[in-house]
A and B are shown apart, each in its own frame.
Chain A
Amino acid sequence: DADVTQTPRNRITKTGKRIMLECSQTKGHDRMYWYRQDPGLGLRLIYYSFDVKDINKGEISDGYSVSRQAQAKFSLSLESAIPNQTALYFCATSDSGRGVNTGELFFGEGSRLTVL
């Protein structure tokens, strides 16, 4: 089983609909992130959370919200989806633990969202 699991893997929806993408992890990491990937733009950070009570905006948070329901769960919501939110969305985790910490990110397999 994957350590970082995203659901759904694919979703097609219509403009104005509310969408939730869910992420769960079994790695025991405290930090979780949502990125979106667009061709030619790479990965851009939407929101990140360093622990359950910590939520921070990334570089492109407008139109998105998140919820950190537990250490292992971090969901991304689009309250009213629009076509330019069509993208591949990735959840990632990292560990702030003691000792040498390279900051490596561990990614889920992605959720492809199409907004018509």
Chain B
Amino acid sequence: GEDVEQSLFLSVREGDSSVINCTYTDSSSTYLYWYKQEPGAGLQLLTYIFSNMDMKQDQRLTVLLNKKDKHLSLRIADTQTGDSAIYFCAERGGGFKTIFGAGTRLFVKA
């Protein structure tokens, strides 16, 4: 079945770039997403990329998609302490269900 995998932890220094990686198995994915979960809150969509795109940039965020390798990454430039959160990779396949990875907890050290 569909599966989304990502590493569980990432620690960076304030001001550095953060790169969170994700792999997925569903070749029929239409949209791929990055959701952010702050402590005590639900998930909120951070950004998304349509499957026919290779890259999407939105201010400090860059999403790269390699469809051949089924690899998605999220780069956060100039990482700030306010970026500390759990980041979930997710994909929407042909069944119109959204499948989530386990989430990567980003720690930002001042």
- Report A's interface with B, CB cutoff 8 A: 4, 35, 40-45, 48, 58-59, 90, 92, 102-105, 107-110
Closest to A105 in B: B98
Q: How far is the CA of A102 from the CA of B90 in the complex (A)?
A: 12
Q: How far is the CA of A104 from the CA of B92 in the complex (A)?
A: 10
Interface SS of chain B: strand
Closest to A2 in B: B42
Residue numbers in A under 8 Å from B35 (CB-CB): 105
Cross-chain pair count, CB within 8 angstroms: 48
Q: How far is the CA of A45 from the CA of B88 in the complex (A)?
A: 14
Q: How far is the CA of A43 from the CA of B90 in the complex (A)?
A: 10
Q: How far is the CA of A104 from the CA of B35 in the complex (A)?
A: 10
Is the pair B8, A40 in contact by a Cβ cutoff of 8 Å? yes
Is the pair B88, A103 in contact by a Cβ cutoff of 8 Å? no
Q: How far is the CA of A28 from the CA of B104 in the complex (A)?
A: 31
Q: Closest Cβ of chain A: how far from B105's Cβ, in Å?
A: 10
A sample of 10 more A-B contacts (CB under 8 A), given A4-B42, A103-B30, A105-B45, is A40-B102, A42-B100, A44-B100, A48-B97, A58-B97, A92-B43, A104-B48, A107-B44, A109-B41, A110-B41
Given contacts A40-B102, A102-B31, A102-B48, contact A45 B97 (CB under 8 A): yes
Is the pair B92, A103 in contact by a Cβ cutoff of 8 Å? yes
Residue numbers in B under 8 Å from A48 (CB-CB): 97
Which of A44, A58, A108 is close to B42, meaning CB atoms less than 8 Å apart? A108
Is the pair B102, A42 in contact by a Cβ cutoff of 8 Å? yes
Given contacts A40-B8, A42-B102, contact A107 B97 (CB under 8 A): no
Render B1-31 as a binary contact track against A, CB cut-off 8 A, 1 for contact: 1001000100000000000000000000011
Q: How far is the CA of A96 from the CA of B58 in the complex (A)?
A: 25
Residue numbers in A under 8 Å from B8 (CB-CB): 40
**Ranked 4 nearest A-B pairs via Cβ:** A107-B42, A42-B102, A43-B100, A103-B92
Is the pair A104, B45 in contact by a Cβ cutoff of 8 Å? yes
Residue numbers in A under 8 Å from B100 (CB-CB): 35, 42-44
Is the pair B102, A110 in contact by a Cβ cutoff of 8 Å? no
